[in-house]
Amino acid sequence: EYTIEVNPESATLDKLECMHTHGVNRISAGVQTFNNDLLKKIERYHTSDIAKEVVRNAKAIGFKHISIDLMYGLPNQTLEDVQEDLKTALSLPVNHLSYYSLILEEHTRLYDSFEPLDEETEGKWSDYIVEILSHAGFHRYEVSNFALGNHESEHNKVYWHYDNYYGVGIGATGKIDGELISHSRSLTDYLQGKNTIYIEKETIEDTMFNHLMMSLRLKEGLDLDEFKRRYHCSVEDIYKEALTKNLGNHSLIIENNHLKTNDTLDLLNSILLDFLPE
């Protein structure tokens, strides 16, 4: 799989054709919403029509995998807006969809004026999204990701399996075993050939927890044999108390030697609290 993420406003026909000619077979477009008023509020530079044209062009050119990102919980967004986004998305030739709840960090432009969804409303909207996409044939294989058939993102599964990956270029990040590697985000430095690299060394406890956390985001769960191969100890050895509790209340199950959520992906955060390193 060879993926490129694109912003709709800059994904011209010429660029898409160039990508496809040189082997890119998966496009992921940051649509966020098809509502033009909401796009303006979150300061995106494309329109609904531009986003739809990019998807249709990608299909016509011959891309095998076409994915879009959508968001819910945008400022002043309603459930009716989400319904329209889903209706539009399902009318397009996409076979993968990432659907995220908006979370704004402090010191961002929208933060001070943003009123996030309350927990109950967010849960209802999430359930609605899952239901509609499920009826349309999309299976939820990760907390926020849905695929038709075999169109799961191999690219992102590398992160969720907590495998190693390289980051190359300005602002890129990578992970090699217990080291988190990031490159400077300074465009000025980058253009001058200064590639400052920052390395954060994880403790073994943090590495194991991050592996568990990322893998439990997947419906398939954590491969218990792979965990033991990497760390030379079992999940039962490290997380005995948390495991006993969450297997006992059926929040987690073990199936095909994978530790996984028992249809409780939306409750993952509360489950993970029991596994946090002390």
Query: Per-residue pLDDT for the chain (278 aa), expressed as one digit of tens each?
Result: 999 999 999 999 999 999 999 999 999 999 999 999 999 999 999 999 999 999 999 999 999 999 999 999 998 899 999 999 999 999 999 999 999 998 766 655 665 666 778 888 988 999 999 999 999 999 999 999 999 999 999 999 999 999 999 998 899 999 999 999 999 999 999 889 888 899 999 999 999 999 999 999 999 999 999 999 999 999 999 999 999 999 999 999 999 999 999 887 878 888 999 999 87
Per-residue pLDDT at 116: 75
Structure-token match 């499920």, residue found: 134
Per-residue pLDDT at 102: 82
Q: Which domain holds residue 173?
A: 161-201
Residues 69 and 53 in one domain: yes
Residues 149 and 165 in one domain: no
Q: How many domains does the chain have?
A: 3
Residues 10 and 94 in one domain: yes
Helices 48-61 & 13-21 angle (0-180, nearest 10): 30
Residues 226 and 259 in one domain: yes
Residues 30 and 153 in one domain: yes
- Does residue 206 lie in a domain region? no
Residues 195 and 231 in one domain: no
User: Taking phi first (over 0 means left), then psi (-120 to 50 degrees means alpha), and beta for anything else, what does residue 245 get?
Assistant: alpha
Per-residue pLDDT at 265: 80
CA angle 20, 25, 29 (to 5 degrees): 90
Residues 146 and 64 in one domain: yes
Residue 106 near residue 135, CB atoms below 8 Å: no
Check which CATH number belongs to the domain holding 141 and give it: 3.30.750.200
Q: Going by C-beta distance under 8 Å and a sequence separation of 6 or more, which residues neighbour residue 237?
A: none
Per-residue pLDDT at 105: 62
Residues 271 and 226 in one domain: yes
Residue 20 near residue 59, CB atoms below 8 Å: no
- Does residue 208 lie in a domain region? no
Residues 169 and 154 in one domain: no
Residues 84 and 184 in one domain: no
Residues 175 and 197 in one domain: yes
Residues 8 and 128 in one domain: yes
